[in-house]
Structure 1
Amino acid sequence: MIRNPALRNVPLGIQQKYNVVTCNYVAREQGVTKVMSVVDAQEKCLQLVLVKGEDLTHYREMSYQVTEIMKPAYCLIWIETNPGPHRRLVVGFHIAAELRTAIWSKLGLDVCAWVATNKLLAKLVSGSFKPNQQTTLLPQDVDHIMGHLGGLHRVPGVGHQTSKLLQALGLVTVQDLQLFPLAGLVKEYGVPTGQRLKNLSLGVDDSPVVPTGAPKSLGDEDSFKKISTTREVAEKTQELLTSLKDGRPPQTFRLTIPRYSAENKWFSRESRQCPVPHHLGHKVVSGSTDANVHLVTLAMKLFNKMVDGSTAFHLTLLNVCFTNLPPARGTSSQGAITSFFTLGSSPQSSPTPSRTHEEHPPS
């Protein structure tokens, strides 16, 4: 919608193969959802406009720009030393508001924000008050939020396998886990896990917020009914490589294919990798037209180490990946945390935030 403003106010879906992987809110209002089949989405919304989304280059570029804008905010928790939870929430409220304004003004992106006393609680309220709004969860509302979650799968950090183990103890809901004795959890899972599960059920989370930076690997894959010639492998590799660009020179190239076996009903994966020559890495960054030609040559050498191309083969998946990527350019902190406060705004003079929301980035 940023690249083509004409799409901003129409029902829009992003298509990958046979699915709508995401859609705008205009489409959602007409019943389209993420990961819905294209056929079902078009039945729900006859006016749905579909845009191909296999190439993630623009998405990655925008993602890095958003992350770069947010970097100075990572030091917030270390700057704020006052132990009062409301004090920290006020500061977090202002930081979130300034970040949303910065992202809107610099990139044209609407942003939601959820502020709470820890990551777990912020995630729990992250589905509320969307789009383009901001929510702050007060400590006195935590018990209400946790008590009305329902199933344990609703708690971030409690996955499918953990839920199954807890069900064996008769624990189905968050409230069940809250009421279950800590000693019983420790007996079953040990001290660290037992205490962590009890804390999660109560909305307690002491995990730190840490910046991760740009990903160290960049990959893309595709699945298909059948590829059975080396020419088709080379063509599919060439197609996948077009999306592997984010401004950093790759240092290692990896190719992955499925490996079937009689013991495995589905398949495992087999990979081979090799270094990317220095000059070729810089050709990738510069957008040289022959960069992918050389990368395909590397890929086919790796492929031939895993598959005998002179005999019949049946390939249904191909994954290409750059690994050991260097840090993104400009990763040094740009500006101090105070740059996110507008002149005249001060957390000391701001009212205590409540569980309310704003519909537009504040000025």
Structure 2
Amino acid sequence: MENPKRKPPRRKDDRVILHFDLDCFYAQCVEHQQPALKALPLGIRQKGILATCNYVARHRGVNKLMTLAEAKRLCPDLVVVEGEDLTPFRNVSKQLYALLRSYSWSGKVERLGLDEIYLDVTDMVAYNVELLNRNCLNQSYFCLSRADPEQGFQYDATVFSGCVYGDDGAASAAQGLHGDLVDNALYIRLLLASHLARYLRLKIEEEGYTTACGISTNKLLAKLVGNKNKPRNQSTLLGLRDETVFSFMDSHGLRKVPGIGSKITRILEGFVLGKEMDPNIHSMDCSVTAGQARAHPSIQSPAVLDKLLGGPGSERGLAGKVWSLLHGVDDTEVKPARDVPTQISIEDTYRGLNEAPEIRREMALLSASLLRRMHLDLIEDDHATPAQGHAHTQSSMSVMVSRRWLACPKTVRLTTRPYTSPTDGKPYDWARASRSAPLPSYVFSFTITSEQIVEKLVAEILLPLFYKLNPSPKGWNIGLINVCVTNMAGGDGGGVRDIGAMFRRQDDVLREFTAYDSTASPSPFAGAQAERKTPLTSESVSGASSQGDDMELCPLCELYLPRFALAAHERFHTMEEDGS
């Protein structure tokens, strides 16, 4: 009986996606701060290995993820800079992300790690296709704003910008736009997108950083084609026919395809080669290409893949996803930009921690790093001009700067796992376990130091969670600690409400209905407001909070409470969440 004919999945070509990948990102950040290092072989060290290196070092045979000893042997004059503190890298990543986001119309701007950014520019390209003057293509104008036609740039719409991959039109792309290609909608959209990509890359270069860019119709293809001509370059996948896309995908090793992890790679590699593969090998190397897997006579459909990849605990729809990826099909959307992340996580790995002082020290280091991340990603400076009549030191137009939380995570999660070596025969995440607790409100305080916050967080929250996860008194053999804050309140740019503004609004509404009696004795049940001779205002709240000794602000409901009552109040919020 003959095998049924393969039916490739249908690919949608109605989008235009740009994928920006910053060149040797960590090294570029260091070079930006120390320009003299640009001409020298430079490596960034993390945990005893090179996290990355610049292209000067790569031309000397050095590669990222090498051990320091091996890198120094190949390049004795290699300059090594410590890269454990990610704060400067995160700052640059946030800056460049904001730059690209400012050009997006749809808001579909997705950051992948610190050095990769996806842009869905379908709407921008479609708008500018309508503006094309077919009689004067070499003097075209790309409009960057619907509202302001003067915001834009000139370009030559007869040729692609950058490199072009694809045997059906690459030659024509180099020769210029002519013939039937004028009426090919996909060709025109990709051509315009290539010029937009160049414009944005140059804007990034004005900030002092170079990037590679891939242009295609989905995230998978854009990422892969962008790797073809690095660094400081761009490539467009001109996939006007399915065969071109299949040929492009077939040239990649299985492990190089985003979405196909090491476990899936080893299963397919073993099936194609007809031998048993070690599932615990996490190398990016693979002796089987996507084309060999796609064209294998025994792999006819997702149903075959489901028998290979399925089983207890396997991801639902995994076989169909892998089948699509092998054919260059990826329908996942570019996620809309967020003002705040869904969670913030810091972790580190160890070769077996067993002593309590070691655990406490590492938790303090992780917590300090986590708090810096929270301040970077979740705090915004508010700039306000003082009202008339208020004293200030410089001029009547001096600006007051205050800080506010854009969002407050409500939960802190601690994760640990034992140390395992490759010879143990255990999977990487063996015995990984987590416990969560409400994140205490003092973490959001601006009146106590970061060192005090870290000390309290470790002593009161993280160490108790650790002992719940690892109840034995010794012999923990800890190989990983992860501290994460999640369950954001006030996200999506809404921010945490201004307690002062809330009381000002209340004051305005209630003023004409409020009786003021300075002789009345306060009711013992009226709370803090009844003890005052005037209604509670933002000024009085500020005065109470500035004392900082007896009152604290709950970031979840914006109430000032006695400090001794905060723990019970937080448990109330936790019970409220569990009930919902």
Whole-Å separation in 2 of the counterparts to 1:4 and 1:328 = 36
Measure the CA separation in 1 of the matches of 2:195 and 2:449. Answer: 41
Indicate the residue corresponding to 1:24 in structure 2: 54
In structure 2, the partner of 1:77 is: 122
Output the amino acid matched with 1:322.
V
Deviation at 1:102, TM superposition (A): 2.6
Q: Residues 296 and 178 from structure 1, CA distance in 2 versus in 1: closer, same or farther, beyond 3 angstroms?
A: closer
Distance 1:109 1:317 in 2: 33
Counterparts in 2 of 1:274 and 1:40: CA distance versus 1, 3 Å: same
Q: Residue in 2 aligned with 1:205? A: 330
Match of 1:223 in 2: 349
**2:232 is matched by which residue type in structure 1?**
N
Counterpart position of 2:66: 36
Which residue does the alignment assign to 1:276? Answer: 439
Flag the 1:280–1:209 CA change in 2: closer, same or farther, 3 A.
Answer: closer
Number of residue equivalences: 327
Unaligned runs of 5+ in 1: 332-363
Q: Which residue of 2 aligns with 1:14?
A: 44
| Aligned residues with identical type, % of pairs | 33
Q: Cα deviation per residue 1:303-323 (whole Å; 9 max; x = unaligned)?
A: 232334755544343222222
1:157-168 aligned within 5 A = 157-164=259-266, 166=268
How much does 1:197 deviate?
Answer: 4.9
Task: Tell me what 1:243 maps to.
Answer: 369
- Alpha-carbon spacing, 1:181–1:38, altered in 2? closer, same or farther (3 Å): closer
Deviations 1:37-95 (A, max 9, x none): 01111111111111111111122222222222222433522444468112221232133
Q: Indicate the larger mover: 244-253 or 112-121.
A: 244-253
TM-score by length of 1: 0.76
More displaced stretch, 13-22 vs 70-79: 70-79
- Cα pair distance change 1:166/1:109, threshold 3 Å: same
Alignment of 1:310-349 (within 5 A): 310-311=473-474, 313-325=476-488, 327=491
- In 1, the alpha carbon distance for the partners of 2:332 and 2:476 equals 47
Query: Equivalences for 1:300-311 in 2 at 5 Å?
Result: 300-308=463-471, 310-311=473-474
CA 78–180 in structure 1, closer or farther in 2 if over 3 Å, else same: farther
Q: What letter matches 1:146 in structure 2?
A: M
1:188 to 304, 310, 324: 304
Counterparts of 1:319 and 1:6, CA distance in 2: 36
Are residues 57 and 282 of structure 1, via their aligned partners in 2, closer, same or farther at CA, if it must alter by over 3 Å? farther
- 1:296 corresponds to: 458
Which of the numbers 210, 232, 236 marks the counterpart of 1:110?
A: 210
Indicate the SS of the match to 2:84.
coil
SS at match of 1:268: coil
The C-alpha deviation readout for 1:229-285, integer Å capped at 9, x for no partner, is 322211111122232223225432222222589x9956411222222223322449x
Counterpart in 1 of 2:257? Answer: 155
Contact 1:250 1:325 in 2 (8 A): yes
Corresponding position of 1:132: 232
Offset, 1:183: 9.3
Q: What code does the residue aligned with 1:69 have?
A: L
Counterpart amino acid of residue 248 in structure 2: I
Equivalent of residue 249 in structure 2, options 139, 143, 146: 146
Deviations 1:186-241 (A, max 9, x none): 44247x76665554444343333223535322222223334333222111111222
SS in 1 for 2:93: helix
Measured in 1, the distance between the counterparts of 2:37 and 2:487 equals 37
The CA distance in 2 between the partners of 1:51 and 1:70, in whole Å, is 28
Distance 2:289 2:41 in 1: 37
Instruction: Name the amino acid aligned to 1:155.
Output: V
Alignment of 1:94 with 2:195, yes or no, is yes
Higher relative contact order (CA 8 A, sep 6+): 1
Give the C-alpha shift of residue 300 in structure 1. 1.6
Q: Secondary structure of the residue that 1:289 maps to in structure 2?
A: helix
Q: Is the 1:177–1:198 contact (alpha carbons within 8 Å) kept by the matching residues of 2?
A: no
TM normalised by structure 2 equals 0.50
Alignment RMSD = 3.6
Paired with 1:8 and 1:168, the residues of 2 have a C-alpha distance of 43
Q: Say which SS state the counterpart of residue 318 (structure 1) adopts.
A: strand
Q: Is the 8 A contact 2:272 2:293 kept in 1?
A: no
Q: Find the residue that maps to 1:319 and give its secondary structure.
A: strand
Please give the per-residue CA displacement for 1:292-346, whole angstroms capped at 9, x wherever unaligned.
1122222122223233475554434322222234648699xxxxxxxxxxxxxxx
Following the alignment from structure 2 to structure 1, what is the Cα–Cα distance between the partners of residues 270 and 39?
49
Q: Secondary structure at the match of 2:50?
A: strand
Structure 2: runs of 5+ lacking an equivalent? 1-30, 109-119, 130-183, 274-287, 307-316, 379-407, 496-580
* Bigger Rg over Cα: 2
Q: Which amino acid aligns with 1:109?
A: Y
- For the Cα contact (< 8 Å) 1:103–1:109, is it kept in 2? yes
The letter of the residue matching 1:294 is K
Write the distance in 1 (CA, Å) between the matches of 2:233 and 2:411. Answer: 41
